[in-house]
Amino acid sequence: MSEYVLPPSGPGGGAGYSTCSHPMDFAVLCVVNGRAEVRGHFSYDSRDPYTVRAFFAQGEDDFVEWVFGRDLLADGLLRPAGHGDIRIRPSSDDHALIVIELTSPFGTAVLAAPRQALEEFLACAAEIVPFGEEHRLLDWDSELERLLAGER
C-alpha cells in the first residue's frame, strides 16, 4: 500500500493545508455470495480536521464518498463504535480486519478493511493534525458567520 502526503504550503506559497490519502482494497461481505473485493481509499485534509473521507469504487472511474469523524474510525479499531448510518468495529473472526457497516436509504454495505492499512492511514492523519489539536485549525469566527448566514 502506498501513502501520499502533501506537505503544508508556507506563507505566501499556497493554501497552507496538508492532505494524505491511503489506497486499500476492501472486502464486501455478502450473505448470499460470500465476499467480493472493491477498491477504495481513505483521505484526510487538514482544512476539515475532524473528518475523514472514504471513497469506494463503483465501477471504473466512479466512487461513492462517505464522510465521518476521524475519532469514529480510531475508536472503531478498538471497540464497536458508531450509531446509525456508520458503524465500525473489530472483526470477531479475524483480528487483522475491521468491519465497516454503511447504511443509506439505498441499502446497507458491510465491508472489511485491513486493520494495518487503517492504522497507517490514521498515523498519517495524526502527523498532519495530532488528535486533540483539531480545534486549532478552525477559524471559529468565520464558521459562526457562515452558520448565521444560513450556509452549510
pLDDT score recorded for residue 4:
42
Which of left, alpha, beta for 134 (phi over 0: left; psi -120 to 50: alpha)?
alpha
Q: What is the pLDDT along the chain (152 residues), one digit of tens a residue?
A: 334 444 443 333 345 778 888 888 888 886 556 677 888 999 999 888 999 999 998 877 888 899 999 999 999 999 999 998 999 999 999 999 999 999 988 888 899 999 999 999 999 999 988 887 787 777 777 777 878 888 76
Q: What is the pTM of this model?
A: 0.78
DSSP string of 45-80, one letter each residue = ETTSTTEEEEEEESSSS-EEEEEEEHHHHHHHTTS-
Q: Give the helix/strand (H/E) hosting 142.
A: helix 140-148
pLDDT score recorded for residue 6:
43
Q: Where are the domains of the chain?
A: 4-140
Extract the C-alpha cell encoding 82: 458508531
- The domain 4-140: what is its CATH number? 2.30.31.20
Q: Which residues contact 76 (CB under 8 A, 6 or more apart)?
A: 82, 87, 88, 89, 90, 98, 100
